[in-house]
Structures are given as structure tokens and as C-alpha cells.
Structure 1
Amino acid sequence: MATRTGPASRRDWTNLPAGPAGLIAERLLAHDVADLVRFRAVCAAWRACSDDPRASLVSDRRFHPRRWILLPRGHTRRQPFLMNVHTGKRIHPRLPDLRRHYMFGPIAGGLLVLCRKGTHVVQLLNHVTGQLTDLPCATGLLPPCKWNRSMDFRAMNVRLHSGGVADDSTVALLCNDCRTLAVAKPGDDDWTRLWPDGGDDRTGLWIDDECILLALSFSSRLYCVTTKNILVVESAAANQKARLAVVADVKLACRYPWPEDYVYPVYGDEGGLILVHRCRTSSTGFHDKYIAYRVNLDIGNVESIRDLGGNSLFVCGGRSQSVYPAMMSSSIKVDTIYVCQKVLVWSN
């Protein structure tokens, strides 16, 4: 008996019942939020049986672009695109008009921190789903200024080092002097500034202030790393402000870090965390040295290791990106740190 293969025998998948379609959407979201976005773009019926990423809370990690990074426009490409650091796949997202924002930079989870021009409201952008979340005004993040500078001038000079989002929607940003951590939730009036020693707000910087080298989110909580300790952000109780509490001793190689000292996170596929410390000490002739630590925050254990758990790390100044070479490219060596240098090209 002949089998019909013409157009009339093709199935209309848009009529797939809501039950199976919803199950497919759940499986896609568990794998990658970008797959869910493509699924929802097919038809209204499939959008109706799946969760809307733009309606989710900023703390819902299911919709975070965990493995996607935004690459800017270049000489050979007119539009920015997203690249998956595990597979090398590329997609072209629909982004808001970034000319209306100052871009502070990325934080843990793949979200981008923006500052809207005019209002100076800080916003979190999920560049895969297009969701924008409003946070307090950037006033609490601006660097100190001795001169009468405009808000726009000061916003352009905010240096975002790192940050993250906790499960209770608390956002933490490490900016400028690296001695204070600014935290806030959507709907808050202002940012709350936290010091590693638990002190109150100060108008100036102290020479012996402990320097924060990294802020990140891990296992639904917010942490920061100093040369002495790893601290967790304790959520604010009624009529109280958030605070930092020590969860592990680090004892990094340098007690007094140089401005070029950084800590880079490497996230394992199985939920592990590795911290890579870039430091300069007299024993290294003041050249860069990289030391890796495996961290277990449940028991407060930090141990020095000699690998990156099969990952590779690209670093440039205070920025870093870990990739999994086994799935991305055979040209990238495992357990290797690639150091990229900023090159300034001057022309007449």
C-alpha cells in the first residue's frame, strides 16, 4: 500500500494539545531558556501553554541566560549577537534601544546592568527574553566626586566589577572603590551599602578598609569574596538592614591587594564553584600569578587546586568568562587560563 507523503499528510503541529505542548515547553526550559523563546515564537497556542519569561520575577533562575553572552558590534558585523559559551551557537536577539542607556556591565547569571539616560534608573536586562527590571536610581552607586559634575557624567564613570541576584530578588552590585557592596530589591527607594566589617555608612574611604574582590550569586544566595573571608548577604528583617556574615575563611596569597588583583568565578556543570585569584606578590617578582580554589560553601571549606574542573577561563582585566571546551571547540585547551590584554590604538 502506498504511503501519502504530500502536503495533505503533514501534521499541523500548532494544533498540538496543551498537555503535550506544555510538557515540551518544560523540557526546553530545563535545557535552555533560548529554546523556550523559540518555542513560544511559533504560535499563540504554544505561548498559551507555556510560562511567559517576561512576566517572571528577576530572581527566577529558570529564565536567566546562564550560558549566553552578548558580543558587541564589530567591523564585520552590524548588530550585536548572543553566543552560547558551551555550544558556540549564535542568535540575534531583539534588544531595546541601548543608545538610551549607559551600560554598566554583566553580572552572575548573564544579566546586564543598564542605567537609563534622563531618569538614571538602574535596570536589569535579560538579553535572551528581553525582560527589563527596574531598580533604584543610580545615585547610590555613583563614585564620589569633588567637583560639581552632572549626573550623566558620573553615571558614565560607574565601574561595575561584579554582582548577582538572590532568590528573594535582592540584587547586589560591586562598584567603583570595591570596599562597599550595594544591595536593593525591585521597588526599593534606594540602595543599601554594606561593608565587610559590618560598619555603618562612611563618607570617605579608610586605608585599612577590607577590599571586596568579587560579588556573585551561588545556590540562590549572594556572596562576596575578600582577601580574608567569603561573606554571605543576610536578608533584611523587619525594620533592619541587610548585613554581611562570614561563611568561610579564604586567606588569599596577598593581604593587601594591588589594583590589578581580581577573583574570577568558574561554575561547574554539576553545581560546583571554583575561584581563581589573580595576584601580584613580591615572591612572583610582582608578575601575575593565578591560584585556583575549590569552594564548598555548605561547610565553609576552601582548598587550593591545580585544575579548573575541565573548564577554561578567559580573563581581561576584571572581566572573565568560563567556557566548557569539550562541547564548544577543540581549539580551546581544558584547565587553561587565557589572558587577554586591552590594546589602545591611537590615531591622528
Structure 2
Amino acid sequence: MSSTTALPNKAVETCCRQEKCARIAGTAIDPNWTDWADLIAGPAGLIAERVLADDVADYLRFRAVCRTWRRCTASPHAHDSLDRRFHPRRWIMLAQTLGAIRKRRDFLNISTGERIRVNLPELRYQYVFRATSDGGLIVLCDKRTYVVRLLNPLTRQLTTLPAAIRQQYTGSTQRRNGNDKQWTRLHTGHIITTLPFAGCFYCLTETALMGADTTASTNPQLAVASELGDMGSARYDQTVKLVDNDGELVLVCRIMRDNNNTFRKGYEVYRVDLEAGITLPMQQGIGGRALFAIQSCSC
């Protein structure tokens, strides 16, 4: 994992290396020198816990400083791959640029603006879909076997799910049944965009916003969650996205505006009122936040 910004542990890592070199060479050590590598397990473990509570990326850097710190901290690979403590938070995968190496992907921290580049050979022969509902894991589907996997892009842990049934350009949606280790087909028509939100699965069809409770013990069923209202007549292209706007479900539509016979792309934002079952235009946009959108996903 490489970064385009300075790592917070860089000074400590350099200190540990210089201390080791001084010992090997038998040279005198500065009396003001601090041997961070000899930090005992208790304090090191406490620091690691606090670092992990904030961001797994910094936790991995902390463990990479020296062997001593690795020995007194838990390896993510020693825990279940679905352990949320080791899932990336506030990281989004950026769209691949033209000519970029296919297995390398850039990630952006939406809180700090830090950008890192990760080598992910696991993406080979995979369809890459949107991140999971908590934003941490990437959904992959093998192009050869249609086996679905969840990838942690920072720890590179994989979780294998049952193989999906091949769909023929219909946008059909399937959900894994947690009890029977199989997929339940929710919809066979055309789906424009989808989003897991607040324990439910939502998808936009050509006629309405549909939803299904994914926490139910029985097989979930899609039902109309909201009518489209005025939005139904809006002219939009394929960039229509369901977005979790800080706990609020919104629809963002890219439209073509007629400005003196010159068509220009613009955006309209609608808040989904799930209680009333309607969509309402948001004149102030999404509250000063930024939306990253490509044809396959948004975040």
C-alpha cells in the first residue's frame, strides 16, 4: 500500500531503523534518542487499539513499523474477514484511469483527502461492483464461475459467497439468503440503480423506488417504497444514483438542460420520504457534500 501523502508513522519508522543500524555498527547512541521499537506490549497495544478505532489503514502502517509492534498487535488475518474492526472506513475506490495498470487501484479518504494506491491482484478476472452498505468491502463476481466474493482492499481478505445465476442484460437483482446459502431473486425487470440502506435494499425501476427488508427471517419481497412524482417525467440519462446522504436517502439525477437551444448537463437532487412514500426536490443540493459518480456506482 503506497500513499501520495506523508505517513503518520514515518518518523517513528525511521527512528527504529536508525537505532538498529547504530547497534549493529557499535556506534554511540544519542542520549536523547528514544527507542520506540522497545515500547512494551501494554502501551503499544493500547496505541494500536486507538489507531484501529480510527482507521485500519493507519493500523496496518503501525504494524509495519517493526517486528516488535507486529508481535504485540493482532493481525487482521487472524480474525474473521467480516470483522468490522478491520474494515476500511471513509475510503472510496476511484475510477480507473485510461492506461492504468488493471490490478492497481487508487483510494481516497473522504475525511482527510489522503490518497493511496493499492496493488490488488484479486481483481483479475473479476467484475467489480459497488462497495458494501458500510462502504468497506468491494463486491466481486468471477467472470468465469460467477462466484461472488467480498474483498477487503486494505487487508486483502476475501469472503466467498455462493455463485450467482448468470443474468442476461435485465438488471435482475438477487440477494443472498443467510440461512440457506443461496440467492433469492428479488426482481426480473430493468433496474437503474441500487443501494443497501438502513437494513433494507432499495432499487430504482422505471416506475417507482422499490424496497425490501433484508433483515427479515423469511424471504424478502420487493414493494413500492416511494412514488417518483415529478421526477418520473424528468429527462435523465444513465447517471441516476441512490445515495446515502448522511443517513438520508436521496436520488441524484443527471439531466440535460436547455439553455438557449444549447443542451448542458446538470443535476437534480430529490429526498426520499420513506414514511410518506414520495420524493421531494432538494433546492439546496446535498448539503455542501461532494458526490463521486461513475456509470457503475456512486459514493
Structure-1-length-normalised TM-score = 0.59
Which one of the candidate residues 75, 88, 107 is aligned to 1:64?
88
Percentage identity across paired residues of the two chains: 36
Q: 1: CA distance between counterparts of 2:40 and 2:180?
A: 42
Pair 78,315 (structure 1): closer, same or farther in 2 beyond 3 Å: closer
What is the rounded CA distance, in whole Å, between the counterparts of 1:137 and 1:78 in structure 2?
24
Deviations 1:88-127 (A, max 9, x none): 423232423533x222333341533323365442212121
Going from structure 1 to structure 2, the CA distance change for 1:77 and 1:95 (only over 3 Å counts) comes to closer
**Structure 1 match to 2:298:** 320
Q: Deviations over 1:24-54 (max 9, x none)?
A: 3333233322112212223455445555444
Letter in 2 for 1:37: L
Q: Which amino acid aligns with 1:58?
A: L
Q: How does 1:1-348 map to 2 (within 5 A)?
A: 6-7=29-30, 9-47=32-70, 50-54=73-77, 55-58=79-82, 60=84, 63-70=87-94, 72=96, 74-75=98-99, 80-86=104-110, 87-99=112-124, 101-108=125-132, 109-116=135-142, 118-138=144-164, 140=165, 142-144=166-168, 176-178=169-171, 180-184=172-176, 189-195=181-187, 211-226=190-205, 227-237=207-217, 240-251=218-229, 253-254=231-232, 260-268=237-245, 270-278=246-254, 290-295=267-272, 302-306=279-283, 307-321=285-299
Please give the alpha-carbon distance, in whole angstroms, between the structure 2 residues aligned to 1:58 and 1:185: 17
* CA deviation after TM superposition for structure 1 residue 132, in Å: 0.8
User: 1:191 is aligned with what amino acid?
Assistant: W
Number of aligned residue pairs: 264
1:184 Cα shift? 1.2
The 3 A distance-change label for structure 1 pair 194 and 266 is closer
Give the TM-score normalised by the residue count of structure 2.
0.67
Aligned counterparts of 1:185 and 1:73: Cα–Cα separation in 2: 36
Cα deviation digits, residues 269-316 of structure 1 (max 9, x gap): x5444321235799x999866321234658867532122211233434
Aligned mates of 1:7, 1:97 — CA distance in 2: 46
**Gaps spanning 5+ residues in structure 2: where?**
1-27
Counterparts of 2:53 and 2:273, CA distance in 1: 25
Aligned-partner Cα distance in 2 for 1:296–1:23: 43
Deviation at 1:186, TM superposition (A): 7.4
Cα distance in structure 2, aligned partners of 1:85 and 1:213: 27
Flag the structure with larger Rg.
Answer: 2
Q: Specify the SS of the correspondent of 1:92.
A: strand
Deviation of residue 223 (structure 1)?
3.0
CA RMSD of aligned residues (A): 4.1
CA distance in 1, matches of 2:40, 2:202: 44
Higher mean C-alpha displacement, 214-223 vs 243-252: 243-252
Does the 8 A contact of 2:208 with 2:224 survive in 1?
no
